[in-house]
Amino acid sequence: MKTKIWLIPVMLMALFTIAPVAYPASAEKAPAQSANSISDRELTAFVNAYVDYKRIQAEYAPALQKEKDPARKKQIEQDANSKVKRSLDANGLSPERYNRIFATVNANEGLRKKVLKQVEDERRSS
């Protein structure tokens, strides 16, 4: 049995509540976006945003887990979400487009392997 490697999506309002992407019911019924409809530029932007997201998550998760004060916890989440939003903006992606690319990558094993290789390369170079 093959084990699939899943990337973690950006969820701006719940950055550290990692769960499968919640897509609207209409999106579940829509045919999966073709890997061909993702340009190389978008794929590179996705990889950059994903690497940024993981770095931001690693930076903020410990403080968020330790924090007991709900107001302070909310502020930490807002700070992290702000950084994620800036990364998406800098990479020319909306949260919706990022999530659509994410879904396409996860639905296509060949594309997923390609993206994971690019993520690995980007992490090494940054």
* Cα dihedral value 111, 7, 15, 54, nearest 10: -100
Q: What is the pLDDT of residues 6-60, one digit of tens each?
A: 444 444 434 433 333 333 333 443 345 566 689 999 999 999 999 999 999 999 9
Give the residue among 62, 63, 65, 56 at the shortest CA–CA distance from 11: 56
Helices (H), the chain: 25-29, 40-66, 70-90, 95-107, 109-125
Cβ atoms of 88 and 9 closer than 8 Å: no
Q: Which pLDDT belongs to residue 61?
A: 92
